[in-house]
Amino acid sequence: MKTSFVLLTTGLLVLATGCAESSDNLSQEDVIERVSTSKEDVENYHGEFVLTFELEAGLYGSQASEASYSVDMFENTQDSHGIFNSVADDTEDAMEYYKVGEEAYTNTNDEGWENTSDSIDDFTNFDSDYNAMASILEDIIDKTEQTEEENAYIYTYTGYDKTVYKAFEKPFSVELTGFDLENDTDLDVSITVSKDTFTIESMDYEILAENDLGSIFMTVSVDYSDMNQLEPITIPESVITEASE
């Protein structure tokens, strides 16, 4: 589950810089400075991840798969509640889990809840948590084009650049072999940053590699919401009871 693939309590929690500062007409350097500062204040969030993969290999056939991951995540404790769904050719799989403290419970393909606390490490140290997504923008912002909208800044990149490719490699396990990356590969990136909080709202990444032997097309879509507005995650008693039966 180490996929290489935020509490509004009292008052108003501001994730960005002081509210007296304008969020309009900022340079790339100003925006990334605020993004880097705000990521330290992100404690919890809801995330939606979708990854697709298509392989065309001529005489060797083709493959297609899609995986989605919906998660409520607390960054510091790694407490989380997530739902995975995947489809690979004709095979479908699903899993729901809770991880709170040193306890973890998993339900795979609706076969029933199990106590999986002995595998607690599988539910921590996600390579694609929010800090990792913010780090991607930090790494590639000087390669992108900035567009300003009423409520957001949009960062886009099209083409091939090794820095951009490497930035996405670890968080989503995107590593191509059998291709001349510089000549065979096209990347398309779009990242949206909220003007209100200077947190990443969404990230879309496409990678197409093709040569005479075949092609690979992969997409990654990430959406964040409820930054620092989640209630603490608890494991339902019904889950614990079922797992103990």
Tens of pLDDT, residue by residue over 21-67, are 678 889 999 999 999 999 999 999 999 999 999 999 876 788 999 99
pTM over 0.75: yes
Question: Distance between CA 164 and CA 143 in Å, rounded?
Answer: 8
- In the three-class reduction of DSSP (H, G, I as helix; E, B as strand; rest coil), residue 20 is classed as coil
Residue 14 lies in a domain: no
Residue 4 lies in a domain: no
Count of the separate structural domains present in the chain? 1
58-103: per-residue pLDDT in tens? 767 889 999 999 999 999 999 999 999 999 988 999 999 999 999 9
CATH of the domain at 184: 2.50.20.20
Q: Supply the pLDDT for residue 19.
A: 44
Q: What are phi and psi of 77, to 5 degrees?
A: -95, -15
Between helices 130-140 and 28-38, what is the axis angle to 10°? Answer: 160
State the average pLDDT for the chain: 89
Question: Distance between CA 31 and CA 179 in Å, rounded?
Answer: 35
Residue identified by tokens 């979708």 is 50
CB 103 within 8 A of CB 116: no
Chain-centroid distance of CA 160 in Å reads 21
